[in-house]
Structure 1
Amino acid sequence: MKRILFLTFLLASLRAFSQSPTESQISVLSKKKFDWMRSPNSGQLASLMDNNVILQLANGKTQTKNEFLDELRSKRFVVNSITISESLVHVFGETAIVTGKLVATVTANNKNSTINKAYTEVYTRQSGQWKMVLFSI
């Protein structure tokens, strides 16, 4: 009897920690986004973002898609490394929310710094494609 209870608990626990296919897809996109931020000329970051994406940055500034991408391309803001310590995906129909924690080393205006922050991303499915509509760090 104990063995059956243990196996039932184990299976329930595994199921609670597993991701749905949509959650896995969003998780991969979120991780790729951080990689693309390190090489912003690839075009993949731009295609992931909705044209009206809201970008709330660690310094309190809010930027448009073009402002953010221009800052990355011009090297005024360089993402040197990013380590994700926590990432959770929640899907609500055609909307997905990612919450997490990260540590990033960046160079802004020729000054190196380390950012240790929580972040939130919101994605919506548009014509079958997931688009990022909010990134807040």
Structure 2
Amino acid sequence: MRKIITGALLLVLTSVLSYAQSPGSRTSTPSKAEQEVLDLSKKKWDWMADKNADSLAILFDEKSVFVHMGGSWGKAQEVNIIKSGGIHYKKADIHSASVNIIDNTAILLNNITLLAVVGGNEVTNPFIVTEVYIRENKRWKLGSLSFTKINTPGSPR
């Protein structure tokens, strides 16, 4: 009887631990499509740091939405904010990134520390950033970018 109970407990514990793993804890090599999205996200952070509004305007879908600590808006306002320097995304230190692809939609989670200039003030904040990409005509377009402030960089997801 003791062996049966011990075996059952081990089975339950193993199931719970495997279910509780976060998407970012996966150790397998990303698929080609997942790697494309991870690389594109990295380029996006570089373009934001360089205030490369023209490249970002091509990447952002016409119906894209952006959620920040101070509000939410669409593509035109985000591009104008970057172009004008209203928000300067100086440097995104990416601590981890994971991507899940569902049909033609990729959901990417970045755990970052963002150094930015907002309203003339330099600020550093830890965020989980959710990026949603849609694949159309063999190209990925950014559909949504949302910042969720967390307490510390590297916090578990």
Same fold, judged at TM 0.5 (above): yes
Per the TM alignment, residue 89 of structure 1 is displaced from its structure 2 partner at its CA by: 0.7
The answer for the alignment partner of 1:33 in structure 2 is 44
Asked which structure has the greater CA Rg, the reply is 2
Alignment match of 1:71 (pick from 73, 81, 84): 81
Amino acid corresponding to residue 86 of structure 1 in structure 2: S
Equivalences for residues 1-137 of structure 1 within 5 A: 17-41=28-52, 43-59=54-70, 61-137=71-147
Instruction: Give yes or no for contact 2:108–2:132 (8 Å, CA) kept in 1.
Output: yes
Number of residue equivalences: 122
Q: TM-score by structure 1 length?
A: 0.84
Q: TM-score by structure 2 length?
A: 0.74
CA distance in 1, matches of 2:143, 2:57: 12
Unaligned stretches of 5+ residues in structure 1: 1-14
Return closer, same or farther for 1:31/1:57 CA change in 2, 3 Å cut-off.
same
Instruction: Give yes or no for contact 1:40–1:69 (8 Å, CA) kept in 2.
Output: no
CA distance in 2, matches of 1:58, 1:42: 21
Unaligned stretches of 5+ residues in structure 2: 1-25, 148-157
Quote the RMSD (CA, aligned, Å): 1.4
CA distance in 2, matches of 1:40, 1:47: 14
Q: Percent identity?
A: 26
